[in-house]
Structure 1
C-alpha cells in the first residue's frame, strides 16, 4: 500500500513536470526525532529577522521576494533544515503537533486564509508573535492573536526542530 501511494505520487509529479525528493520528512514516514535539527531561539530570531521588509512575491523563495512558505523554507534552510515540503499545506503534514499555549520560537504556525484549509504559514517568534511573509506587508512580525484577522484564521502549529530556548538580552 505504501509503495502504490508513492508510485502514484511519482506519476502525478512527473505528469506535472515536478521533481520529488525522497526525504523522510516529505513522505511522512519518519518520526519527528529523525527530522529535527538543533539551533537556539536567538539564532532563529536573528535568521528570520534579517528578512524583515522583504517584499511579498508569489512563488518567491529568495531574499528578493518571498511567499509565506518560501520564507519559511529560506529561514530553515539558513539554519540547516533543508527537508521541508514547498507549500504551507504540505508543511502542515510534517512535524509534531503543538498546542498554542506550548509554542516555542521556531514552531510553524498555520492559518486558513482562503476558506479551503491551510493556506498560510509563519514561524512562531516568541512573545505571542509570529514572523511571516504577508501579501500586504512582505516579511513582518504580527501578533498571533490579532483580533482583526489572524486569530480567527489560526489552524494549528507543528514543531519540526528542537530549539534551545535562550533568554532575550
Structure 2
C-alpha cells in the first residue's frame, strides 16, 4: 500500500516522521517494501532538478554537457544522468523520448520543450511556479527563469 502526498520532496522511509509532518512538508509516505514506477520517476525527476539547480551560474557552451559548461540539452542530459536516467543528446531527441504530459499535469523535474511549429529548439527542467532551470544561449549561464512563452510542450522522463 502506498500513500502519496504530491510535492517537490520525496521521502522513501517515514521512520519516526509522522504522515502529518510529511504532509506539512509535502513528502511521500511509502510503506516498507512498497515501490512503484510513479514514485521512482518522481525520485529521478527531483534528483535531476537538484542537480540542475546546483549548476547555477555555469556558463553556456554550445555542444557542452558538463560538468562545468552546458548547452540546454546538455544540462538536461547531465542532470538526468546524475539521477540515474539516460537521455539522448539533443532537445528534439529528448522530446521524442519523453512521455507527453499536459501543462496541468506537469510536475517539478519534468522537461519543458520550446518549439516553433513541430520543431523543438530548446529544453529546460520544470522547477515549479512557471519557472525552469536552463542554459539559454551563448553569453549566458545556467539559471532559473520564468517560462516566457506559451509555445511549450511538457515531457516526463520514463
For Structure 1 versus Structure 2, the TM-score category normalised by the shorter chain is: 0.5 to 0.7
Matches within 5 A, 1:1-169: 37-39=41-43, 43-82=47-86, 84-112=87-115, 117-135=119-137, 136-144=139-147, 150-152=148-150, 154-161=151-158
How far 1:47 sits from its partner (Å)?
1.7
How far 1:106 sits from its partner (Å)?
1.1
Task: Give unpaired runs (5+ residues) of structure 2.
Answer: 1-36
Q: Which has the higher contact order (CA 8 A, sep 6+)?
A: 1
Tell me: CA distance 1:63–1:98, structure 2 relative to 1, closer, same or farther (3 Å): same
The RMSD of aligned alpha carbons is: 2.2
Q: Is the 8 A contact 1:44 1:105 kept in 2?
A: no
What's the TM-score once normalised by structure 1's chain length?
0.63
Tell me: CA distance 1:42–1:69, structure 2 relative to 1, closer, same or farther (3 Å): closer
Task: Give unpaired runs (5+ residues) of structure 1.
Answer: 1-32, 145-149, 162-169
Q: Is the 8 A contact 2:44 2:80 kept in 1?
A: no
What is the aligned length?
A: 119
